């Protein structure tokens, strides 16, 4: 099965199968491509708007940053001995 890539970012008319694309992409690129494809479909189908996506993206990053802060702060060591 061949997929025609339709994007304003792609100037040439390129046909590549899903299997070929999967073989060419690194694991990280494959993950990024999957996220891109899913988000593009969901936005185009009206499941959510780009603004909703951006809001949730920022919310997630802020939450992760708050989670990392306590882990990166040095812990106070007690001078008392445990018995």
Residue ranges covered by each domain of the chain: 2-65
Give me the pLDDT at residue 15, please: 92
> 53 Cβ partners below 8 Å, 6+ apart?
39, 43
pLDDT average per 10 residues of sequence, the chain (83 residues): 45 81 96 96 96 96 91 59 50
Give me the pLDDT at residue 69, please: 82
Cα–chain-centroid distance for residue 47?
18
Angle at 25 between CA 43 and CA 48, to 5 degrees: 10
């Amino acid at each position: 099965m061949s997929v025609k890539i339709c994007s304003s970012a792609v100037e040439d008319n390129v046909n590549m199968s899903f299997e070929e694309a999967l073989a060419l992409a690194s694991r990280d690129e494959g993950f990024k491509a999957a996220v891109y494809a899913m988000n593009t479909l969901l936005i185009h189908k009206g499941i959510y708007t780009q603004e909703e996506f951006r809001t949730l993206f920022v919310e997630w990053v802020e939450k992760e940053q708050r989670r990392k802060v306590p882990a990166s702060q040095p812990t106070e060591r007690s001078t008392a001995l445990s018995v």
